[in-house]
Structure 1
Amino acid sequence: MDVIKMPRIIIDYVKCIAEEEKICIELCPVAVFQCGESGKPRVVNADKCNMCGVCQANCPVQAIMIST
């Protein structure tokens, strides 16, 4: 039996400055994030995440962590 691991995307909203810079939303190649009502990203398509790490690597305040 094959096991498929889904990525877990954790956003630290205390650190997040997405009201100013929406880098994660803009750079994600598979549109995992959408802008929430607070102006901060929310994960809407976690199942599409290919774990490329673009969001995590480019977050200026290290507010995103991807794990399995």
Structure 2
Amino acid sequence: MDVIKMPRIIIDYVKCIAEEEKICIELCPAAVFQCEESGKPKVVNANKCNMCGVCQANCPVQAIMIST
């Protein structure tokens, strides 16, 4: 039996500066993130994440971590 692992996307909201730069929201090819009222990103489509790492690699403050 094959096991499919869903990605786990962790956002460190203490480090996050998305109010100023919404890089993760803008660059994600799978539209995994949505902007909250606070301006911070929220994971809304984790099941669509293809684990490309674009958000993690481009976050200027390393506030995103993707794992399985």
TM-score w.r.t. structure 2 length?
Answer: 0.99
- SS where residue 25 of structure 1 aligns? helix
Unaligned runs of 5+ in 1: none
- Calculate percent identity across the aligned residue pairs: 94
For the residue of structure 2 that corresponds to 1:10, the secondary structure is strand
Gaps of 5+ in 2: none
Per-residue Cα deviation, 1:6-65 (whole angstroms, up to 9, x for no partner): 000000000000000000000000100000111000000000000000000000000000
Matched, 1:30 2:34: no
Alignment TM-score, normalising by the size of structure 1: 0.99
Q: Distance in 2 between matches of 1:20 and 1:39?
A: 8
Counterpart-to-counterpart distance in 1, 2:66 and 2:34: 17
Compute the RMSD of aligned alpha carbons.
Answer: 0.3
